[in-house]
Amino acid sequence: MPTERIAMRQIRELLRLKYECRLSHARIAAALGLSKGVVAKYVKLAARAGLTWEEARELDEVELEGRLGSGGPASAVLAGYVQPDFALVHEELKRKGVTLALLWEEYVGAHAGPTYRYSRFCDHYREFARRLQPSMRQVHRAGEKLFIDYAGDTVPIVDAASGEIAPANVFVAVLGASNYTFACATATQSQADWLAAIGKALSFIGGVVEVIVPDNARALIARPDRYEPLVNRTVEEFAAHYGTVILPARPYRARDKAAAEAAVLLVQRWVLARLRHRRFFSLEELNAAVAELLVELNARAFKKLPGTRASAFEALDRPALKPLPATPFQYASWKKARVNIDYHVEVLGHFYSVPYQLVRQEVEVRLSATSVECFVRGKRVAAHARSARRGGYTTCPEHMPASHRAHLEWSPGRLLNWALSVGPQTRDLVRHLLEHKPHPEQGYRACLGLMRLARQYGAARLEAACERAARIHAPTYRSAASILKAGLDRQPLPQTEQAELELPAHANVRGRTYYH
């Protein structure tokens, strides 16, 4: 194995980006916060092991580890030369595989009159590109990048019942090649809202891009860094679901996100400004109004380029997009938890069981809206339906030791009927155990202990021991067992009230009659 150790989930993601997304080693290194050398080493290890991505995605972390072995402005236009359509050249460069050399050859071949040499052709194109807006100046390949950000402006949402006003945040996404723009409103800028908005943007464009470029938002990026940014675990899961990669812009590099900043400004001017006099009472109402204005925005003609955002999208980005997955991403957060001695982990106040062999070990918990899953080294060891009952327990019988499974055969009613057959004092003790233990399994275990005492000492002695335990205010299994072991059940019961003592006759003792 290479000397630099990385998490196996990062290795799995590395292989996905290499073989499924077909990214270069440099892009994979930037996306995962690794060096290019490490990326190359693990790709080489996978190739040596004959490991394909289809095989790697089915392996857990232990199996995967085993398989790997661990210039100045151009001169003025020359008279008499056929002038290229540099707006069309700029658009054509966005197509995959198209270069300036190819476009120059087509320009020369299409015109019989005097044409520019290649170097002059390039000089004139660069001068044309410098006159474009910063967001349009860069050449982004079709279907390559989706830039995302939140607008600085918010829209007030009025609660119709209370009159309270809450600000709605406006998410903006723009395709690099066509500048096709999407926007929607969210309640917050939490990780869940970020990912939900990105999912809506991908549904809006009807496909998946190669790279999604956000700012270094803390909700998405666990470690913002110019050279080795690291995305959060849930964000990494989101990218894997859609078959893309999330690669944040470099901090303090405005050029990396020029398209997003321009799109935010455009949405503020052409969408939010037009809604400033309207009152909205829900996010749904606001999003419906935004969607209507987006149609008009994307149909507006470019000033210096041919067509509109909508037409450029149809010609450039739409054919290059990868298909959407069959189902949308289900948001889930991750946390670490330690298994308690009762083989349960605590998640938001509720307790979920895992195999008893994992007692005191640390597990990773994936928490979605409907489920709770526990993982050890990438392998799922437990899955439960999510419960909102604080203090409650969700237990799978297969997670229990064999001795604990026997407790499930006994219901509270069955235990109480058995206790009544012994005597009323035993019934009262069993009822107390069932009602006052923090977990029902603990109560069952104590009741089964009483049954063992009945078999060992007899029902009569157990009834006497339970009566003595109640008299000394110690209604527990351990107290009854101690009484029987010491033979105290055969001794007279302690008096609950002390008899009133007679006062001696003395001149200084007045007695209670004195106060009447």
Q: Per residue in 277-315, pLDDT tens?
A: 899 999 999 999 999 999 999 999 887 677 899 999 998
Of the pLDDT bands very low, low, confident and very high (cuts 50, 70, 90), residue 255 is low
Task: Compare 188 and 341 and report the one with higher pLDDT.
Answer: 188
Q: What are phi and psi of 39, to 5 degrees?
A: -60, -45
Q: Cα(451)–Cα(264) distance, rounded to whole angstroms?
A: 72
Q: Cα(205)–Cα(76) distance, rounded to whole angstroms?
A: 41
Q: What are phi and psi of 442, to 5 degrees?
A: -65, -40
Average pLDDT over residues 206-218: 89
Task: Compare 139 and 164 and report the one with higher pLDDT.
Answer: 164
Structure confidence at residue 383 (pLDDT) = 93
Q: Cα(6)–Cα(34) distance, rounded to whole angstroms?
A: 9
Average pLDDT over residues 63-84: 61
Average pLDDT over residues 322-351: 90
Structure confidence at residue 279 (pLDDT) = 92
Q: Cα(493)–Cα(472) distance, rounded to whole angstroms?
A: 9
Average pLDDT over residues 51-59: 85
CB proximity list for 237: less than 8 A, separation 6 or greater: 329, 332
What tokens does 176 get?
A: 């690099």
- Work out the burial of residue 200: count CB atoms within 10 Å of its CB; fewer than 13 is exposed, 13-18 middle, 19 or more buried: middle
Structure confidence at residue 506 (pLDDT) = 65
Q: What are phi and psi of 26, to 5 degrees?
A: -65, -40
Q: Cα(25)–Cα(53) distance, rounded to whole angstroms?
A: 16
377: left (phi over 0), alpha (psi -120 to 50) or beta: left
In terms of Cα–Cα distance, which of 75, 91, 86, 289 is closest to 178?
91
Q: Which H or E run includes 368?
A: strand 362-368
CB 438 within 8 Å of CB 424: no
Amino acid at the residue 19: Y
How many separate helices (H) and strands (E) can be counted in the chain?
21, 14
Structure confidence at residue 373 (pLDDT) = 93
Does position 241 have pLDDT exceeding 90, yes or no? yes
Task: Compare 99 and 282 and report the one with higher pLDDT.
Answer: 282
Q: Cα(476)–Cα(484) distance, rounded to whole angstroms?
A: 13
| 145-320 maps to CATH 3.30.1330.40 | no
Does position 515 have pLDDT exceeding 80, yes or no? no
Question: Which of these ranges, 13-17, 171-175, 212-216, 301-305, has the smallest mean pLDDT?
Answer: 301-305
Structure confidence at residue 77 (pLDDT) = 45
- Supply the mean pLDDT for the chain: 83
Amino acid at the residue 231: V
36-45, 49-58, 61-70 — most confident range? 36-45
Task: Compare 284 and 57 and report the one with higher pLDDT.
Answer: 284
Average pLDDT over residues 476-500: 81
Instruction: Give the pairing of strands 371-376 and 362-368.
Output: antiparallel
Structure confidence at residue 212 (pLDDT) = 92
Average pLDDT over residues 44-64: 83
List pLDDT tens digits, range 421-474: 999 999 999 999 888 876 666 677 788 889 889 999 999 999 999 999 999 989
Average pLDDT over residues 173-180: 90
Q: Cα(227)–Cα(181) distance, rounded to whole angstroms?
A: 28
In terms of Cα–Cα distance, which of 46, 90, 91 is closest to 70?
46
CB 334 within 8 Å of CB 340: no
CB 127 within 8 Å of CB 173: no
Buried b (16+ CB within 10 A) or exposed e, 317-350: bbebbeebeeeebebbeeeebebeebbbbebeeb
Does position 105 have pLDDT exceeding 90, yes or no? no
Amino acid at the residue 457: Y
Question: Which of these ranges, 67-71, 110-114, 331-335, has the smallest mean pLDDT?
Answer: 67-71
Structure confidence at residue 146 (pLDDT) = 93
List pLDDT tens digits, range 408-432: 666 678 888 889 999 999 999 999 9
Question: Which of these ranges, 31-35, 157-161, 171-175, 253-257, has the smallest mean pLDDT?
Answer: 253-257
Which strands sit side by side in the sheet containing 362-368, from one edge to the other? 332-338, 362-368, 371-376, 379-385
Task: Compare 326 and 126 and report the one with higher pLDDT.
Answer: 326
Q: What are phi and psi of 362, to 5 degrees?
A: -95, 135
**Would you tell me how many other CB atoms lie within 10 Å of the CB of residue 117?**
10
Question: Between 440-457 and 412-422, two packed helices, what is the crossing angle to 10 degrees?
Answer: 30
Does position 73 have pLDDT exceeding 50, yes or no? no
Structure confidence at residue 463 (pLDDT) = 93
**Would you tell me how many other CB atoms lie within 10 Å of the CB of residue 387?**
16
Structure confidence at residue 5 (pLDDT) = 57
Q: What percent of the chain has pLDDT over 70?
A: 84
Task: Compare 238 and 493 and report the one with higher pLDDT.
Answer: 238
Output the CA torsion sign for 136, 142, 144, 148: positive
Quote the Cα angle for 446-449-453, to 5°: 140
List pLDDT tens digits, range 115-145: 888 888 888 888 777 766 554 545 678 888 9
CB proximity list for 433: less than 8 A, separation 6 or greater: 443, 446, 447, 475, 476, 477
CA atoms within 13 A on the CB side of 212: 28
CB 38 within 8 Å of CB 46: no
486: left (phi over 0), alpha (psi -120 to 50) or beta: alpha
Of the pLDDT bands very low, low, confident and very high (cuts 50, 70, 90), residue 1 is very low
CB proximity list for 139: less than 8 A, separation 6 or greater: 90, 93, 94, 129
Q: Which H or E run includes 65?
A: helix 61-68
DSSP 337: E
Q: Cα(17)–Cα(11) distance, rounded to whole angstroms?
A: 10
Of the pLDDT bands very low, low, confident and very high (cuts 50, 70, 90), residue 221 is confident
CB 125 within 8 Å of CB 89: yes
In terms of Cα–Cα distance, which of 183, 188, 195, 192 is closest to 157?
188
Per DSSP, helices labelled H in 111-187 are: 118-130, 134-137
Chain center to CA of 467: 55
- pTM, 2 dp: 0.57
Does position 74 have pLDDT exceeding 50, yes or no? no
